[in-house]
Amino acid sequence: MPAWLFSQNTISIHVHNVPSEDGKINVAVYDSDETFLKFEGVVKTGSTQAHKGVVDLKIEDMPAGEYALAIFHDENGNDELDKNWLGIPTEKVAFSKGKMKTFGPPKYKECVFSVNSDFEIDIEL
């Protein structure tokens, strides 16, 4: 078997435009279209204390593959993405590449990126 199958990589995430130091910045990593944005489909998660401006997170021990990220600013620290009565997020949300649309989030294929070594990504919240 090729050695790269066993290599573990780090995804370094730079989240820009964090509006405040309230709560946490949470990230979820997905690896398929079928499980994208489903709680049961999360491959890995990470979180860190929010602060205004740019927040950096690292997701470690990721095998080579294709992934998509969903990030949200959990301002009230309740570990949930708060939504209004229509199901629209009331906390800031971002994705690895795709943008939130008028009628919902982007698709997995719009957010996916390849990891073959350590990887850095900048995301606008």
Give tens-digit pLDDT for 50-100: 999 999 999 999 999 999 999 999 999 998 999 998 888 899 999 998 787
Q: Which residue has the higher pLDDT, 109 or 101?
A: 109
- pLDDT given for residue 7 in this prediction: 66
- DSSP assignment of 69-93, as one string? EEEEEETT-SSS--B-TTS-BSS-E
Tell which residue, 108, 101, 103, has the closest CA to residue 29: 108
Mean pLDDT for 11-19 is 96
Judged against a pLDDT cut of 90, whether residue 44 lies above it is answered with: yes
- pLDDT given for residue 60 in this prediction: 94
Q: How far apart are CA 119 and CA 65, in angstroms?
A: 11
- Reported as a pLDDT band with limits 50, 70 and 90, residue 6 is low
Judged against a pLDDT cut of 80, whether residue 5 lies above it is answered with: no
Give tens-digit pLDDT for 33-43: 999 999 888 99
